[in-house]
Amino acid sequence: MITLASIGNLMAGPGIDLTFCRAQWSFSPDKVYISGKVLFNFKSTAEPISSIDFDLSNHLRVDKVMYHNTAVPFKHKANQLVITLPGSITAGVVDSIEIEYSGKPVASSFGSIGFDKTDRIAWTLSEPYGARDWWPCRQNLLDKIDSMDIYVTCPAAYKVAANGLLQGYTEAGDQHTAHYQVRHPINYYTVGLAVGQYDFTEGAAVMANGDRIGIVDYYYQSMNYNMKNSRHIANFLNFFSDYWCTYPFADEKYGQAFIKGTVSFESQTMSVMSQSDIGTMAHELAHQWFGNYVTCKGWQNVWINEAFATFAELLMIEKFYSDLTIGWKDYTINSALTAKRAIFAADTTNPSILFDVPTTYSKSAITLLMLRSEIGADAFQKGTRAILEKFGNGFATIDDARQCFEAAADTSLADFFNRWIHGIGYPIYKITSDQKGADNVTITIKQTTSHPSVKFYPLHVTVRLIGGDNEKDVRLYNTEPVQQFVVPVGFKIENVIFDPEREILCKWSYKR
């Protein structure tokens, strides 16, 4: 997700494995209303169970719960739906339950459900806790739904964008029903719909091995649709597939459905886009790898999703628009300097704190930039690929990612992660130079920090020495709060630029 800018998130507990979901929804922009019939196949993972709970907003009404063709009792309060089963289910045995519900949904989080009468579009955007606003699901990050069939019924004039592969529309009077198949594990919050008066384009990315990945775009009538930007998606798909691993949903598709929301979001295989710039497009596409294929294990680890998706903007810029690289780093570092909390999200209850831009996006991305600089681009890429390989279709913590980078770089990164992920703030450098004659210069680096949670950041730093027409970059390993380096230079130093490539989250000043 990309945010521009309260919740009681009691969540369905662990112990249940959802193996399949068949969701049949009626949803259209004509009315602020949703109704559905949602069937889950599930099993208990640990113990026999005699009840099963789902998250569902109190604004919606449960009409019926069917179990083995019989209506069963349930309680629906405090946004929890607890269904009592007539008997006990043995652990490991797959069973099935179907929930019928309807009502006028009320949005939460970042606008979990939206209706626009002007352009006649309606959409969902569930991250992080808004899925229950429009469908019964289990809002935890411990279990993905292994596969899904999605049916959406709406007036025949409208198109339906959803997850997975479109199987076709079935007509019935002035209504039609779209059927999508999802055959990859999917998180509760990345199930998503966009329905309405959409124009539609279809294309493909041709991959290095000749495979074609379908690319679809749904755009509404009044939008200033930047078709040129969308065409870059094929290049980005190829690039990320090459840099990380083949697009994880290659046999389904990648789509963008444009919405009139305030944020963009990575619904699996069908991002809902409030913005149409290339940075946002690359970001949401990158989430298909980090966010959807590998998902943060609990929202405390949201870094897994947002650090990599935000850093992917930089990867894309370095590859395709290298003259914008410094600008992106400047902007993102300046944003990260305003981060107030640690990246590891101790408080996950408030979505606007959990997804605050300076911390969860900017500083998280810059930690990856610094990590790449510390361990080298090859080890960094190897570590990133290892995360996908090891945790694809599942969940990963920040510690899991750290271990992948440690193995790739053959070094401990515990201190680096402790400082940057669990600490607050950044280093502040004061640089002085002292030169007698032109041969050598003594560079003194004094480092303090902006927050007491971290006393010192050991980092490799680059210092650019400038004198007349001469320029020389030296790489120094700053391991002490006050450290002197004698650098052979061969010309008279007039100025020093610290970290000229903007690889470090820091503030600095120079005095001769």
Judged by the rule CB under 5 A, the positions of this chain that interact with Zn ion are 1, 306, 309
Residues 6+ apart with CB under 8 A from 322: none
Q: Does residue 360 contact residue 345 with C-beta atoms inside 8 Å? A: yes
Rounded to a whole number of angstroms, the minimum distance from the CB of residue 103 to Zn ion is 30
Rounded to a whole number of angstroms, the minimum distance from the CB of residue 123 to Zn ion is 17
Closer to Zn ion by Cβ: residue 306 or 499 = 306
Rounded to a whole number of angstroms, the minimum distance from the CB of residue 361 to Zn ion is 7
Strand (E) or helix (H) holding 385 = helix 377-391
Closer to Zn ion by Cβ: residue 176 or 297 = 297
In angstroms, the CA 289 to CA 304 distance is 10
DSSP class of residue 222 equals T
- Beta-bridge partner residues of 13: none
Rounded to a whole number of angstroms, the minimum distance from the CB of residue 191 to Zn ion is 17
DSSP class of residue 207 equals P
Strand (E) or helix (H) holding 330 = helix 325-336
What phi and psi, each to the nearest 5 degrees, are found at residue 276?
A: -130, 25
What is the per-residue burial (b if ≥16 Cβ within 10 Å, else e) of 299-317? Answer: bbbbbbbbbbbbbbbbbbb
Closer to Zn ion by Cβ: residue 110 or 405 = 110
Instruction: Extract the tokens encoding 120.
Output: 């006649």
Write down the H helix ranges in 377-447.
377-391, 398-409, 414-417
Strands 507-511 and 427-434: parallel
Rounded to a whole number of angstroms, the minimum distance from the CB of residue 292 to Zn ion is 11
Closer to Zn ion by Cβ: residue 137 or 304 = 304
Among residues 494, 438, 508, the alpha carbon closest in space to that of 466 is found at 494
Rounded to a whole number of angstroms, the minimum distance from the CB of residue 3 to Zn ion is 8
Closer to Zn ion by Cβ: residue 302 or 445 = 302
Rounded to a whole number of angstroms, the minimum distance from the CB of residue 422 to Zn ion is 22
Instruction: Extract the tokens encoding 251.
Output: 């046999």
Q: Does residue 213 contact residue 250 with C-beta atoms inside 8 Å? A: yes
Rounded to a whole number of angstroms, the minimum distance from the CB of residue 2 to Zn ion is 5
Q: Does residue 416 contact residue 371 with C-beta atoms inside 8 Å? A: yes
In angstroms, the CA 354 to CA 348 distance is 6
Rounded to a whole number of angstroms, the minimum distance from the CB of residue 261 to Zn ion is 14
Closer to Zn ion by Cβ: residue 100 or 306 = 306
DSSP class of residue 91 equals T
Closer to Zn ion by Cβ: residue 76 or 297 = 297
Q: Does residue 54 contact residue 138 with C-beta atoms inside 8 Å? A: yes
Closer to Zn ion by Cβ: residue 179 or 287 = 287
Instruction: Extract the tokens encoding 227.
Output: 């078709």
Q: Does residue 152 contact residue 178 with C-beta atoms inside 8 Å? A: yes
- Cis check for the bond before 136: say yes or no (omega within 30 of 0): no
Rounded to a whole number of angstroms, the minimum distance from the CB of residue 54 to Zn ion is 26
Q: Does residue 207 contact residue 238 with C-beta atoms inside 8 Å? A: yes
Among residues 446, 460, 310, 483, the alpha carbon closest in space to that of 371 is found at 460
Rounded to a whole number of angstroms, the minimum distance from the CB of residue 159 to Zn ion is 25
DSSP class of residue 192 equals -
Residues 6+ apart with CB under 8 A from 418: none
Q: Does residue 214 contact residue 180 with C-beta atoms inside 8 Å? A: no
Closer to Zn ion by Cβ: residue 115 or 265 = 265
Closer to Zn ion by Cβ: residue 205 or 282 = 282
Rounded to a whole number of angstroms, the minimum distance from the CB of residue 300 to Zn ion is 16
